[in-house]
Amino acid sequence: MSTDPDRARALRRRHMQERQAVIFGILLAALAVIGLGAAAVYTNSIDLPFFKEQFAAAPTPTPTLDPVPCPPEGALPVKYSKVKVNIYNGTSTAGLAGRTADDVEGRGFKVAETTNAPVTYAGVARINFGTKGVAAAYTLAAHVPGAELQMDARKNATVDLTLGSDFTTLLELDKVTLDPEKPLVAPASCTPVEDLAKAQASAKASASPKATAKK
């Protein structure tokens, strides 16, 4: 016959097993609920505003473009042989700058340099120029529809053409709408080149260190 201590130990073991069974049952049920909830959210079966608010993707910022300078009032297209162009390959397509340079030279432009761009460019093309090369840039842009015009602080009239990932080829020559006797057409949203030049000069002056006053 079992003694009272043996019976007590047996009862404690049975109670412990019952508690463990209850705990495991609760854990399994909780895991099942979590799994079903996650599946429902993943498949959009239920709508949880909290999760949408907390985990929604951040909105894509709207890209800001530099202002486009207007061509000088009354400026005519520049004679192709007077336009000096540097051509840069801003894509992973080998030989694109060289092939494009051949096409550009074939139209009478003067190609000064052909090489890879330091960084890739997403877009059709970018044309960089200074205040002296605005008319030349518009002349070249007529052959590259979709090119972005961007003025910089260079002092000469050279023009840089950076080819982007969306570039394919120059516009067919018979579709280029340039009349050597008619002034270049200014885009509706352009900014007078004089205003941009003043803004650049002001920004450069603000960025330069102030001279130390003599005591």
Residue 112: band (very low, low, confident or very high) from pLDDT cuts 50, 70, 90: very high
Rounded distance between C-alpha atoms, residue 87 and residue 85, angstroms: 6
So what's the pLDDT on residue 114?
Answer: 98
pTM of the model: 0.65
H helix intervals, the chain: 4-42, 49-55, 96-106, 134-141, 193-207
Sole residue written with tokens 């079966």:
45
Mean pLDDT value across the chain: 82
17-21, 107-111, 155-159: which range is least confident on average? 17-21
Eight-class DSSP state of 180: T
Overall average pLDDT of the 95-123 stretch:
97
So what's the pLDDT on residue 213?
Answer: 43
H helix intervals, 43-91: 49-55
Beta strands in 79-156 (DSSP E): 84-89, 110-116, 125-129, 148-151
Judging by DSSP bridges, how do beta strands 84-89 and 148-151 pair with one another? unpaired
| Rama region for 70: left / alpha / beta (φ>0; ψ in -120 to 50; rest) | beta
Please check the confidence at residue 55 and state whether its pLDDT lies above 70. no
Rounded distance between C-alpha atoms, residue 79 and residue 132, angstroms: 15
So what's the pLDDT on residue 13?
Answer: 75
Other Cβ atoms less than 10 A from the Cβ of 89: the count is 24
Rounded distance between C-alpha atoms, residue 151 and residue 171, angstroms: 23
Judging by DSSP bridges, how do beta strands 159-163 and 125-129 pair with one another? antiparallel
Which residues sit opposite 110 in a β-bridge?
Answer: 84
Residue 81: band (very low, low, confident or very high) from pLDDT cuts 50, 70, 90: very high
∠ CA 163-164-166 to the nearest 5 degrees? 125
Rounded distance between C-alpha atoms, residue 83 and residue 81, angstroms: 6
18-27, 34-43, 73-82, 141-150: which range is least confident on average? 34-43
Residue 25: band (very low, low, confident or very high) from pLDDT cuts 50, 70, 90: confident
Q: Check residues 147 and 6 and name the one with the higher pLDDT.
A: 147
Please check the confidence at residue 40 and state whether its pLDDT lies above 70. no
Please check the confidence at residue 28 and state whether its pLDDT lies above 80. no
pLDDT digits (tens, 9 = 90+) for 175-187: 999 999 999 998 8
Q: Name the phi and psi angles at 142, rounded to 5.
A: -65, -20
So what's the pLDDT on residue 204?
Answer: 63
pLDDT digits (tens, 9 = 90+) for 56-76: 444 444 444 578 899 999 999
